[in-house]
């Protein structure tokens, strides 16, 4: 059985504030641009996020293939991540998290929450989503039994271009809602196991559940218009 647990105040405010500060100071070349299309021609690759990467022919070719794959409704992602290959005595924020969760009392606490006898950690990494990054709807079967996710974005706003959803309803009903009620995507689909919804659109809906506008979330001008329209709606209400 799949379940989602939300544990309030699992980490102290002091630890969280320190973590956010250190995350913002991670050197840019510690981040990797991770690409993953479900296609036999390309496997998952991590490109070091160095200055000039956007002019790298190999990266540009695979990045374009990945984006086209994603836009056709296939599973794919692109985001920044760190690797779990730090030296033994590294004390960066990622390794601090790892050290914290390797403590016996923490592992016991987590094991008690999920209802198992023992927890073994496989991988720890930080992820960062910038403008233009994406991640398809997916499951993590085959990547372990449990995933622990810490969202540390302060004052998160939908216009940042990212949103984490967990769904436990019937997939067909969720996709029907997105396609028919909100017109969020242009493609048709059956909602079966191979169907996927991918869209860069933002849909502005008022309190009477009326659609007031569509906006391309990858276009800065349209996002600015969305913000202006939101202010107009606020004055109407």
Task: Give a yes or no: residue 221 inside a domain.
Answer: no
**C-alpha pair distances (Å), 234 with each of 224, 228, 230:** 16, 10, 6
Summarised one tens digit per residue, pLDDT across range 83-131 is: 887 888 888 888 888 888 888 888 888 888 888 887 877 788 888 887 7
In a domain, 196, yes or no: no
Which DSSP symbol is given to 48? E
Split into its structural domains, the chain has a count of 1
Angle at 224 between CA 64 and CA 180, to 5 degrees: 70
Main-chain phi, psi angles of 50, to 5 degrees: -95, 165
pLDDT of residue 165: 63
How many whole angstroms separate alpha carbon 166 and alpha carbon 101?
23
Q: Is residue 109 part of a domain?
A: yes
Q: Which of 3-7, 20-24, 190-194 has the lowest mean pLDDT?
A: 190-194
Q: Which range of residues forms the domain containing residue 5?
A: 1-166
Q: How confident is the model at residue 184 (pLDDT cuts 50, 70, 90)?
A: low
Question: Do the domain assignments include residue 197?
Answer: no
Does any domain span residue 182? no
Who's near 23: CB < 8 A, 6+ residues apart? 93, 126, 152
- Decide if 218 is inside a domain: no
- Say what percent of the chain tops pLDDT 70: 73
Which range (17-26, 62-71, 146-155, 225-234) has the least confidence? 146-155
Residue 233, classed as helix, strand or coil, is: helix
pLDDT of residue 1: 47
Q: The whole model's pTM is what?
A: 0.63
Residue 236 included in any domain: no
Residue 37 CB coordination number (10 Å): 24
Q: Which residue has the higher pLDDT, 145 or 125?
A: 125
In a domain, 226, yes or no: no
Cβ proximity of 215 and 225 under 8 Å: yes
């Amino acid at each position: 059985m799949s379940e989602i647990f939300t544990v309030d105040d699992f980490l102290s405010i002091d630890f969280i504030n320190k973590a956010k500060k250190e995350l913002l100071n991670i050197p840019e070349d510690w981040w990797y641009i991770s690409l993953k299309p479900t296609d036999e021609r390309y496997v998952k690759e991590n490109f070091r996020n160095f200055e000039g990467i956007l002019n790298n022919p190999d990266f540009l070719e695979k990045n374009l293939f990945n984006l086209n794959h994603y836009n056709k409704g296939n599973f794919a992602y692109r985001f920044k991540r760190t690797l779990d290959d730090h030296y033994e005595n590294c004390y960066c924020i990622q390794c601090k998290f790892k050290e914290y969760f390797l403590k016996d009392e923490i592992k016991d606490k987590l094991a008690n929450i999920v209802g198992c006898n023992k927890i073994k950690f496989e991988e720890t990494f930080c992820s960062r989503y910038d403008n233009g990054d994406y991640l398809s709807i997916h499951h993590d079967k085959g990547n372990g039994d449990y995933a622990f996710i810490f969202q540390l974005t302060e004052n998160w706003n939908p216009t940042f271009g990212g949103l984490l959803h967990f769904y436990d309803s019937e997939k067909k009903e969720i996709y029907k809602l997105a396609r028919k009620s909100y017109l969020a995507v242009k493609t048709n689909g059956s909602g079966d196991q191979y169907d996927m919804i991918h869209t860069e659109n933002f849909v502005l809906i008022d309190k009477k559940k009326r659609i007031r506008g569509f906006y391309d979330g990858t276009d800065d001008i349209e996002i600015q218009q969305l913000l202006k329209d939101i202010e107009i709606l606020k004055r109407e209400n």
